[in-house]
């Protein structure tokens, strides 16, 4: 019996390398990529639609990648905002990975873009271990998921820099205190930024743009 020692390379090194390669490729082309994670129905697509419109108002060019198990509903919504979009169907996979994103990037006019929003599959947990090569990650929670969302998923939120608490208009209807979500998040992640939004009504989007550090020179903003 003997033991073979290993050099300590990460098992997901292949994934990490592909993510780094995406990151470099986007940086070379001057594209800031933001990945948007969150459960099914948290409001990721609507939020990205609002960001796309805001970015256009700022005179910047955005694109999107829509990932779902099946269908092209989100992709069509992005296209209706007159931005390039790529649709990815992950079929039975519960998360995007860097390799799939790499192929999607081949279909986007990267040199003309300033921002790229990548909407992951509606799933809070699985995508967390698969970096895509984006500069920023945000996690979207809807108040309808309950005000114990952060407490139920502490590891996710301890490592998430920006959390969006969406559908704040519904908080009263479902008996949820959005501030409790924010307080839990502050306790577990003292350096994170929480933004309250009602994406459907276009509320809180400017705050999110600031949290994302997206520069806007347009005076309307």
Partner 1 sequence: MHEYSVVAELVGALTQRLADIDGTVTKVHLRKGVLRILSDRALVNAYEAVTQGTRLEGSALEIEIVPAQVRCKTCAFEGAATVLQDETFHFAIPVLSCPACGADVNVLAGRELTVESVSIEDPDDG
- Interface positions with partner 1 (CB under 8 A): 1-6, 8-15, 93-95, 97, 125-130, 151-152, 154-156, 158-159, 184, 187-191
CB of 212: closest distance to partner 1 in angstroms?
A: 17
Which C-beta is closer to partner 1: that of 33 or that of 37? 37
CB of 113: closest distance to partner 1 in angstroms?
A: 29
CB of 95: closest distance to partner 1 in angstroms?
A: 5
The residues, any chain, with a CB within 8 Å of residue 71's CB and separated by 6 or more, are: 89
**150 in helix, strand or coil?**
helix
Which C-beta is closer to partner 1: that of 111 or that of 191? 191
The rounded radius of gyration (Å) of the Cα atoms in the chain is: 18
CB of 86: closest distance to partner 1 in angstroms?
A: 21
Which C-beta is closer to partner 1: that of 46 or that of 160? 160
Which residues does residue 90 pair with via DSSP β-bridges, in sequence order? none
- What span, in angstroms and rounded, lies between the C-alpha atoms of 78 and 3? 53
CB of 150: closest distance to partner 1 in angstroms?
A: 9
Sort strands 85-89 and 32-38 into parallel, antiparallel or unpaired: unpaired
**40 in helix, strand or coil?**
coil
Which C-beta is closer to partner 1: that of 99 or that of 210? 99
**126 in helix, strand or coil?**
helix
Which C-beta is closer to partner 1: that of 117 or that of 157? 157
**CA nearest neighbour of 44 among 73, 15, 86:** 73
Which C-beta is closer to partner 1: that of 93 or that of 102? 93
Q: Which two tokens stand for residue 165?
A: 């608490």
**CA nearest neighbour of 185 among 167, 160, 205, 206:** 160
- What span, in angstroms and rounded, lies between the C-alpha atoms of 101 and 104? 5
CB of 184: closest distance to partner 1 in angstroms?
A: 8
Q: Which two tokens stand for residue 76?
A: 């069509």
């Amino acid at each position: 019996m003997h033991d073979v020692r290993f050099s300590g390379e990460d098992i997901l090194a292949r994934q990490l390398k592909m993510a780094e390669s995406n990151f470099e490729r986007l940086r070379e082309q001057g594209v800031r990529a933001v990945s948007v994670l969150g459960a099914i129905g948290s409001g990721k697509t609507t939020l990205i639609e609002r960001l796309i419109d805001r970015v256009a108002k700022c005179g910047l060019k955005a694109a999107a990648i829509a990932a779902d198990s099946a269908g092209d509903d989100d992709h069509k919504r992005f296209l209706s905002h007159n931005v390039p979009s790529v649709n990815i169907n992950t079929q039975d996979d519960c998360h995007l990975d860097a390799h799939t994103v790499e192929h999607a990037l081949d279909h986007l006019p990267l040199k003309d873009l300033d921002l790229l929003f990548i909407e992951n599959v509606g799933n809070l947990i699985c995508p967390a271990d698969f970096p895509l090569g984006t500069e920023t990650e945000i996690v979207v929670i809807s108040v309808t998921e309950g005000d114990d969302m952060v407490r139920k998923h502490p590891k996710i939120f301890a490592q998430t820099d920006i959390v969006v608490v969406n559908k704040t208009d519904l908080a009263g209807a479902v008996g949820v205190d959005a501030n409790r979500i924010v307080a839990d998040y502050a306790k577990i992640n003292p350096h994170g930024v929480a933004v309250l939004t009602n994406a459907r009504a276009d509320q809180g989007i400017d705050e999110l743009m600031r949290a994302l550090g997206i520069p806007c020179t347009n005076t309307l903003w």
